[in-house]
Amino acid sequence: MQPCGLALVALAIGLTQKSAADEVLDWNAVFNQAIVNSPYISALAFRQAAIVHAAIFDALNGIERRYEPIHVTERAPRHASRRAAVVQAAYASMLHLFPPQKALLDTQLAASLAGLGDDGEDDDNSGEDDADSVALGLAWGQHVADLIWAWRSADGYDPSPSTFSGGTAVGVWRPTPPAFANALFPWLAHSLTWVIPSPSSFRPPGPPALTSPQYTADFNEVKSVGSTNSTVRTADQTQAALFWNGTALTFWNRAAAYNSMQRHLSLSKNARLFALLNLAMADAAISCWDAKYHFNFWRPITAIQLADTDGNPDTIAQANWTPLRSTPAYSEYSSGHASVTGAGQEVLTEYFGSHVPVSGWSEAFGPATVRSYPSFSAAADEANLARIWLGIHFRTAVKDARAAGGAIGAYVMAHAIARLHGHDHDEEGND
């Protein structure tokens, strides 16, 4: 993939400067960095992103009331500053989520508050950012953030160590090397969804039978291309595998930010866009964990090392086989990365269009290494294949996860944050 222009690289490095964006984009960039700074980089990141952007959206929407709210149905006090409400909702939500990062968040809060006196950043701004309106906005943003936090604190989140260790039957997930850890986040499989009806609403059909031609093809593919010392995986495929292993949530959020800036979207449009994107990915993660704990399918490293037990004469065991990267501590089917990527690309495709080029970087290599694609869908195609090239997923798992994630993204676009009467035409993302 060819690097994109310097402007995109500069944008990708950081959006916290006031010249780059508005408060929604500023705090989205702050959140991306907080995730990188946090030890909880995993499926939990999607829950955290949804909490932050739900608070941002409901805080702004409580002042403007252009859409159906996500959770908070109250209206803000008259003359509350939109921008101040966004800033405080983001800050308060992130302080709930990342208390060790308070000093960094305080620094960003001070910078954001200092910028509230600037003129002309947002076409929705009515010039009400005087001291009184700012104070009202800050109080309202805090109130909304606290309501969102109380709501999602009862969503099933459980920080206690997992006791789920799978089983020893053929085809069943069991702990994998090197840590041989219990499966992570079993509570996520039955946690409270954001938009979709339930965790199982978009459950995929399940992995193929161990003696089926599809399983045989999946097995032999990942055994060949996903091994540590594969001779068929190309250098670019190796880079792509490592690139996507280091990014998912941040890639799609940065892609949304870049396209927002290209189109000069308003504060209100950005609040809606990032809420839709992150609610969809959070629900995709929940849906995927439902599938993981429902099917409990073994990982390639287990399947390949124990292939002489699977009853399939066309799968040959290799006791010393290892993947390009260590296997995550949860079952194989379906793919979490492919699920959230499917949801993310669907939301951005519906919002911006199906032929919009996208470029981005990964925390695995840093902003200097940029990969480019002709569309959001094409980026998702490579992200899906990357899980096979890493040696941690079979093709069926990423294909089914991509389909489920895409369906969830479409469902969220159709059912969440509906426009209220009188705002049918002024808030389209691709106008």
How do residues 44-59 score in pLDDT, each as one tens digit? 999 999 999 999 999 9
Q: Where residue 429 falls among pLDDT bands split at 50, 70, 90? A: very low
Cα within 13 Å of Cα(57), Cβ side: 29
Quick one: pLDDT at residue 21?
53
252-267 pLDDT tens trace: 999 999 999 999 999 9
Q: Where residue 39 falls among pLDDT bands split at 50, 70, 90? A: confident
- The Cα–Cα gap between 106 and 191 comes to 31
Percent of the chain, pLDDT > 90?
87
Checking if the pLDDT of 336 tops 50, the result is yes
CATH number of 6-415: 1.10.606.20
Average pLDDT, the chain: 92
Quick one: pLDDT at residue 13?
36
**Coil/strand/helix, residue 189:** helix
Quick one: pLDDT at residue 180?
97
The residue-averaged pLDDT of 80-84 equals 97
286-315 pLDDT tens trace: 999 999 999 999 999 999 999 999 999 999
Give Rg (Cα) of the chain.
Answer: 22
Provide the CA 278 distance to its chain's centre, in angstroms: 6
| Cβ–Cβ < 8 Å for 287, 199 | yes
Q: Where residue 425 falls among pLDDT bands split at 50, 70, 90? A: very low
The residue-averaged pLDDT of 386-409 equals 98
Checking if the pLDDT of 224 tops 60, the result is yes
Beta bridge pairs of residue 372: 359
Q: Which helix (DSSP H) or strand (DSSP E) does residue 358 occupy?
A: strand 358-362
Q: Where residue 42 falls among pLDDT bands split at 50, 70, 90? A: confident
Given its phi and psi angles, is residue 116 left (phi above 0), alpha (psi -120 to 50 degrees) or beta?
A: alpha
CA 115 to each of CA 18, 22, 111, 178: distance values in angstroms, whole numbers, following the listed order: 7, 10, 6, 48
355-376 pLDDT tens trace: 999 999 999 999 999 999 999 9
Cis preceding linkage at 3, omega within 30: no
| Cβ–Cβ < 8 Å for 400, 205 | yes
Range from 116-130, 215-229, 321-335, 367-381 carrying the lowest mean pLDDT = 116-130
State the pairing for strand pair 358-362/366-373.
antiparallel
Q: Which positions ≥6 away from 361 have C-beta within 8 Å?
A: 9, 12, 247, 251, 254, 367, 368, 369, 370, 371
Percent of the chain, pLDDT > 70?
90
The residue-averaged pLDDT of 133-160 equals 97
Instruction: Report which residue type is found at 296.
Output: N
The residue-averaged pLDDT of 150-159 equals 97
Q: Where residue 86 falls among pLDDT bands split at 50, 70, 90? A: very high
For 215-237, what is the HEC assignment?
HHHHHHHHHHHCECCCCCCCHHH
Domain edges within the chain = 6-415
Q: Residue 87's closest CA among 39, 3, 6, 25?
A: 25
Checking if the pLDDT of 20 tops 80, the result is no
- The Cα–Cα gap between 51 and 63 comes to 19
Checking if the pLDDT of 426 tops 80, the result is no
Range from 5-19, 92-106, 218-232, 395-409 carrying the lowest mean pLDDT = 5-19
| Burial (CB count <10 Å: 0-12, 13-18, 19+), residue 101 | middle
Quick one: pLDDT at residue 15?
44
The residue-averaged pLDDT of 122-146 equals 83
| Burial (CB count <10 Å: 0-12, 13-18, 19+), residue 386 | buried
CA 393 to each of CA 45, 175, 220, 223, 389: distance values in angstroms, whole numbers, following the listed order: 21, 15, 12, 10, 8
Quick one: pLDDT at residue 421?
75
| Cβ–Cβ < 8 Å for 286, 191 | yes
User: Quick one: CA torsion of 400, 357, 385, 328, rounded to 10 degrees?
Assistant: -80
